[in-house]
């Protein structure tokens, strides 16, 4: 699907007509819009995020494409049923759903922690089961609910991924990674012993970023954190979206978190996608699982 034509007049809210003047942003539906009546007044130029009809389809090829992904247990019980989903580059997809609905299984398939069937998951159009598994995991980083750090210092942890490629991060690169994870430079020489869970999660995030991933999978990354650490991580995820243009898939138990961070939300129930919509539209859903999630939030 193509983007909107430039100079198109768009009625935003029934009152203010805007003229699309320039496409901006990295793989996102961002347009510079000028309020029509005040076209010559540049102070009124602002950036808009104008969605296409299909929230999961951009004018670019999808970063991740999932086609009829399914999984059964050895005893034949359904875990995931014919999941199909396109995720555009630079967007954040939120996934919510009751416990046991298949969220972690879906995420784990995307970096082959669980090996999906051939030709069911594509990264930049390539079947991930045909790619080198280590390169898939580098390109598609993952952060779990509980951070699992190695012993040693935080610098050791950051250098782990690069060292597997016989590379070493410079001091500046490490500082930059810490900055993304909202940690200051003094952390580099600190031991991982004695870090709080929130700090450990931020180190785990910085360690994942050290591999320079294109896609970030986050499996309930704040569910073990206190409210302040949760806010820190949420801020960090938003920064990664804005500054690095990463494609992010966020599994969350928190509807509020998804509404704060995600561009699009998918609701999973019993291994099926039962709703795909904008977070702000979720309250219109009549699906009983979504109603229950809304009532519980």
Q: Which residues of this chain interact with ligand ADP, rule CB under 6 A? A: 73, 79, 97, 99-105
Query: In whole angstroms, how close is the CB of 90 to ligand ADP at the nearest point?
Result: 25
Query: In whole angstroms, how close is the CB of 119 to ligand ADP at the nearest point?
Result: 21
Q: Which is nearer to ligand ADP, 101 or 157 (CB)?
A: 101
Q: Which is nearer to ligand ADP, 102 or 198 (CB)?
A: 102
Query: In whole angstroms, how close is the CB of 153 to ligand ADP at the nearest point?
Result: 32
Q: Which is nearer to Mg ion, 144 or 278 (CB)?
A: 144
Report the partner that residue 232 touches, choosing among Mg ion, ligand ADP, none (CB closer than 5 to 8 A by kind).
none
Alpha carbons within 13 angstroms on the beta-carbon side of residue 32 total 10
116 vs 128: CA distance, rounded Å: 9
Q: Which is nearer to Mg ion, 28 or 103 (CB)?
A: 103
| Contact (Cβ atoms closer than 8 angstroms) between residue 32 and residue 21 | yes
Q: Which is nearer to Mg ion, 104 or 201 (CB)?
A: 104
What letter would DSSP give residue 117?
P
For CA atoms 244, 60, 136, 251, the dihedral sign is positive
Position of tokens 């805007």? Answer: 18
| Contact (Cβ atoms closer than 8 angstroms) between residue 95 and residue 251 | yes
156 vs 188: CA distance, rounded Å: 8
Please name which of 45, 25, 42 lies closest in space to residue 34, comparing C-alpha atoms: 45
Mask for 82-121, x = binds Mg ion (CB under 5 A): ---------------------xx-----------------
Residues 128, 131, 80: CA angle, nearest 5 degrees: 20
Query: In whole angstroms, how close is the CB of 225 to ligand ADP at the nearest point?
Result: 18
Query: In whole angstroms, how close is the CB of 216 to Mg ion at the nearest point?
Result: 16
Q: Interface with Mg ion by CB under 5 A: which residues?
A: 103-104
């Amino acid at each position: 699907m193509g983007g909107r034509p430039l100079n198109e007049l768009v009625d935003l809210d029934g009152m203010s007509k805007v003229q699309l003047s320039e496409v901006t942003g990295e793989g996102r539906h961002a347009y510079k819009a000028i309020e029509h009546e005040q076209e010559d007044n540049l102070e009124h130029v602002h950036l808009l995020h104008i969605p296409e009809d299909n929230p999961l389809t951009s004018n670019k090829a999808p970063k991740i494409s999932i086609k009829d992904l399914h999984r059964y247990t050895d005893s034949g019980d359904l875990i995931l049923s014919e999941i199909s989903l396109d995720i555009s580059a630079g967007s954040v997809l939120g996934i919510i759903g009751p416990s046991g609905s298949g969220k972690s299984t879906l995420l784990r398939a995307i970096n082959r922690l669980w090996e999906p069937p051939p030709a069911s998951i594509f990264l930049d159009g390539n079947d991930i089961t045909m790619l080198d598994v280590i390169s898939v995991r580098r390109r598609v980083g993952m952060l779990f609910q509980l951070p699992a750090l190695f012993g040693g210092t935080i610098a050791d942890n950051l250098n782990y991924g690069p060292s597997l490629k016989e590379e070493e991060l410079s001091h500046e690169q490490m500082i930059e990674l810490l900055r993304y994870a909202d940690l200051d430079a003094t952390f580099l020489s600190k031991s991982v012993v004695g870090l709080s869970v929130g700090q450990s999660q931020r180190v785990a995030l910085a360690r994942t970023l050290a591999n320079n991933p294109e896609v970030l999978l986050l499996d309930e990354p704040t569910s073990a954190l206190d409210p302040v650490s949760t806010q820190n991580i949420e801020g960090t995820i938003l920064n990664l979206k804005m500054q690095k243009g990463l494609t992010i898939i966020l599994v969350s138990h928190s509807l509020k978190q998804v509404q704060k961070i995600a561009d699009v939300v998918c609701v999973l129930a019993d291994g099926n996608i039962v709703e795909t919509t904008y977070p702000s539209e979720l309250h219109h859903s009549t699906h009983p699982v979504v109603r229950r999630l809304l009532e519980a939030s």
